[in-house]
Structure 1
Amino acid sequence: MARFSNKVAIVTGSSSGIGRSTAVLLAKEGAKVTVTGRNPEKIRETVDEILKNGGKSEDVNIVIGDLTESECQAELVKSTLERFGKIDILVNNAGAAFADPSGKVGTESNLGLFDDMLKLNLRSVIELVQKCRPHLIASKGDIVNVSSIAAGPSPFVYYTYYGVAKAGLDQLTRCMSIEFIPFGVRVNSVSPGLISTGFLNAVGFPNDAVRKTEEYYASQRDCIPAGRTGKPEEIATLIAFLADKNSSAFIIGQSVVIDGGTSLALGMPSHDLSKVL
């Protein structure tokens, strides 16, 4: 029997990158999956990948919308329950950093960006967990949040507001884990380093700048000791491990770092990204 047979998962931000790889892996291993994002074409690509890897169309639920909107979250929960009858796994992957159009970084950046990043990276997680709470308790399910090494302890000045939001998510993970474990629901998170996804494009980098950034940091052993950027599939594998009680039942409230050694070397924040580009 496949590892996630008879399990129902919601994976937010599943139109690309880590979210897409996670949805594909969970479906490949037997789960019924709700995928969601704002771009219908990209979500279609995710579904195609699921089907290509052995998933069944009847086991995929699609919700198009903005996760920061309560209506979208309500539809996520409602449609998943109507389609599959329960919720076993919630992967809070949707998240992003936004660049200030003026080029300012750190606390000089527009405060509107701070509000937007908190809304997407932290508030939307809290709100969706509130909506899923009774259903996860009923199934004794699992929550996996996707954080970032930008949350600390090393400061990334280019992503100050993003790091603050993700640091909040790490604390939320710890608090929720204690709150939920008496009901049999585990909460954990993963903290990726630099992963080859569309993340930097979403920040505002053109493709050439993304390539330069990834190649530069991968070539600097004090930035990524592993000598390469990570792959979305590698993060998905860790998420699946944390969502599987048979593999990780005694792991509760942890944020597992997966960064090729970046947070050990501590060199990345000292490099001036503007000079790299």
Structure 2
Amino acid sequence: MARFTGKVAIVTGSSNGIGRATAVQFAKEGAKVTITGRNAERLEETKNEILKAGIPNDHVLAVAVDLATEQGQDELINSTIQKFGRLDILVNNAEATFMDSQGRLGLDQDILDYDKVMQINMRSVVTLTKKAKEHLMKTKGEIINVSSVGAGPQAQPDIMYYAMSKAALNQFTRCAAINLIPLGIRVNSVSPGCVTTGFGEACGLPAGAYEKMASFFESRKECIPCGKSGQPIDIANIILFLADRNLSSYIIGQSIVADGGSTLVMGMQAHDMMAILTSP
């Protein structure tokens, strides 16, 4: 029997990248999965990838909603319970950052971008977790948040708002873990480093820009000591580990860093990230 047989998982931001890889892995290992994102076309691609793995159609639910809205969150939770009857695992993976329309960085960036980043990366995680709580209490379930090494302690001046949101998410993980463990709900997170996911284009970067930066970092040991960027499946495997209480039951409120050694040296901070992204 697969280790997640009988379990139901919601994976947010599962229309590509880490979310897609995570949803596919959960399905392969027996879970019924709700996939969700704003892009219905990409969501369908995720569903097709799951079905190609031999997973029955009735084990997958695709819900195209905007999780930045209460209405979208309600639809996500309610449709999952209506179809599958329970919820065991919530993966808060949906995230965003925004490029300033005038190319400004740091404190010069439009404060409206701050509001949008915090709405998606932090507030929606809190409210979705609150909505899922009653269902996770019944199953003694698991919550895994997807953070980032951008949370610090190194400064991230070029992506200040994104970094702030992830630092807040790490504190939310710690606080929620202590708040919810008496109810049987376990909360942890994973903090990826440089991972090739398609996230750059979703945030408004030109096609291939993020991959160009990743290639630059891969070629420099002071940036990524292991010499290669992560792949979505690398992070998905950690998420499944944290969702498996047989393997990780004594891990409470922690964030596992998966970055190829970057945070041990953080030489990438010595390079001009925006110059790399925009170079010809």
Contact 1:2 1:30 in 2 (8 A): yes
Q: Any stretches of 5+ residues in structure 1 without a counterpart?
A: none
1:181-235 deviation per Cα after TM superposition (whole angstroms, max 9, x unaligned): 0111100000000100111112222123223211101111111111111000000
| Structure 1 stretch displaced more, 44-53 or 203-212 | 203-212
Structure 1 equivalent of residue 193 of structure 2? 193
CA distance in 2 between partners of 1:227 and 1:207 (Å): 23
CA distance in 1 between partners of 2:222 and 2:137 (Å): 43
Question: How far has the Cα of 1:274 moved from its partner?
Answer: 3.1
Structure 2 equivalent of residue 70 of structure 1? 70
The 3-state SS of whatever aligns with 1:206 is coil
Structure 1 equivalent of residue 140 of structure 2? 140
Structure 1 equivalent of residue 56 of structure 2? 56
CA distance in 1 between partners of 2:257 and 2:123 (Å): 22
The 3-state SS of whatever aligns with 1:10 is strand
Question: How far has the Cα of 1:62 moved from its partner?
Answer: 1.2
- Answering whether residue 226 of structure 2 is matched by residue 226 of structure 1, we say yes
Structure 1 equivalent of residue 237 of structure 2? 237
**Aligned residue type for 1:73:** Q
**What RMSD in Å do the two structures reach over aligned CA positions?**
0.8
- Answering whether residue 30 of structure 2 is matched by residue 30 of structure 1, we say yes
CA distance in 2 between partners of 1:27 and 1:253 (Å): 25
- Answering whether residue 101 of structure 2 is matched by residue 98 of structure 1, we say no
The 3-state SS of whatever aligns with 1:130 is helix
Question: How far has the Cα of 1:65 moved from its partner?
Answer: 1.1
The 3-state SS of whatever aligns with 1:164 is helix
Contact 1:90 1:142 in 2 (8 A): yes
Percent of aligned positions that are identical: 51
CA distance in 1 between partners of 2:141 and 2:213 (Å): 38
The 3-state SS of whatever aligns with 1:207 is coil
Structure 2 equivalent of residue 175 of structure 1? 175
Contact 1:98 1:202 in 2 (8 A): no
CA distance in 2 between partners of 1:131 and 1:274 (Å): 38
CA distance in 1 between partners of 2:225 and 2:90 (Å): 32
The 3-state SS of whatever aligns with 1:191 is strand
TM-score normalised to structure 1 length: 0.98
The 3-state SS of whatever aligns with 2:145 is strand
| Structure 1 stretch displaced more, 194-203 or 142-151 | 194-203
Structure 2 equivalent of residue 17 of structure 1? 17
1:61-119 deviation per Cα after TM superposition (whole angstroms, max 9, x unaligned): 11111110111100111000010000000000000111101111111110000000000
Contact 1:157 1:269 in 2 (8 A): no
| Structure 1 stretch displaced more, 232-241 or 193-202 | 193-202
CA distance in 1 between partners of 2:212 and 2:63 (Å): 34
Question: How far has the Cα of 1:34 moved from its partner?
Answer: 0.4
**Aligned residue type for 1:231:** Q
Contact 1:96 1:203 in 2 (8 A): yes
Q: Any stretches of 5+ residues in structure 2 without a counterpart?
A: none
**Aligned residue type for 1:268:** M
Contact 2:65 2:76 in 1 (8 A): no
CA distance in 2 between partners of 1:17 and 1:6 (Å): 25
Contact 2:196 2:211 in 1 (8 A): no
Contact 1:15 1:35 in 2 (8 A): yes
**Aligned residue type for 1:25:** Q
CA distance in 2 between partners of 1:170 and 1:229 (Å): 23
TM-score normalised to structure 2 length: 0.97
**Aligned residue type for 1:140:** K
- Answering whether residue 272 of structure 2 is matched by residue 272 of structure 1, we say yes
